[in-house]
Amino acid sequence: MLSAGMKAPDFTLLDQAGNRVSLSSFLGRKVVLYFYPRDNTPGCTRQACAFAGSYEAFKTLGVAVIGVSKDSVASHAKFAAKHDLPFILLADTELEAIRAYDVWQEKKLYGKVSMGVVRTTYVIDENGVIEKVMPKVKPDTNAAEILAYLAGE
């Protein structure tokens, strides 16, 4: 797992509209980079909707919100449209950023072991340095916890 104080690995991926988005293009502003397992699953939907509900607060703080999963551009487009998600969703079908941020890990579900994305959120500062790492976050409280952190609470 990456840790606070490390340079955030740069990447370029396609967003839900098919546009190329590079993390380095956000230098000069904070970024909340959250990795989630899959579009349209219950936990991931609750997490995305919580970020959407808090989006104006993030915008007011000048903070970009970016969600990343291994889903396709088409899947992200449907997910964003269905839940009216106002932030960037990046398609990492080749696991480029997912592996760089060390969130592709062994998971156990009902005794079955498989590889998958472990729900993790990074706060990256204006200089592209990891400011905070939140591993194994809860989908329902992740957005609120980050806003509280950014507000210094």
Asked whether 132 and 122 are in contact (CB, 8 A), the reply is yes
Alpha helices in 84-141 (DSSP H): 96-100
Residue 111 has pLDDT above 90, yes or no: no
User: What is the 8-class DSSP label of residue 121?
Assistant: E
Q: How many CB atoms lie within 10 A of CB 136?
A: 10
Q: What is the mean pLDDT of the chain?
A: 95
Residue 105 CA to residue 117 CA, distance in Å, equals 6
Question: Is the pLDDT confidence value at 107 over 90?
Answer: no
Rounded to 5 degrees, φ, ψ at 21 are -130, 125
Q: 1 pLDDT exceeds 80?
A: no
For the stretch 125-138, pLDDT in tens is: 999 999 999 998 99
Tens-place pLDDT, residues 42-89: 899 999 999 999 999 999 999 999 999 999 999 999 999 999 999 999
Structure tokens at 79: 């997910």
- Which structure tokens are listed for 59? 């915008």
pTM of the predicted protein model:
0.94
The rounded percent of the chain whose pLDDT value lies above 90 is: 88
CA-nearest of 121, 124, 146 to 30 is: 124
Q: Letter for the amino acid at 146?
A: I
Which pLDDT score is estimated for 92? 98
Q: What angle do CA 129, 151, 89 make, to 5 degrees?
A: 55
Which sequence positions are flagged as catalytic? 44
Residue 142 sits at the vertex; the CA angle it makes with 112 and 16, to the nearest 5 degrees, is 80
- pLDDT above 80: residue 153: no
What the chain holds in terms of domains, given with CATH numbers, is 12-150 (3.40.30.10)
Q: pLDDT category, 93, cuts 50, 70, 90? A: very high
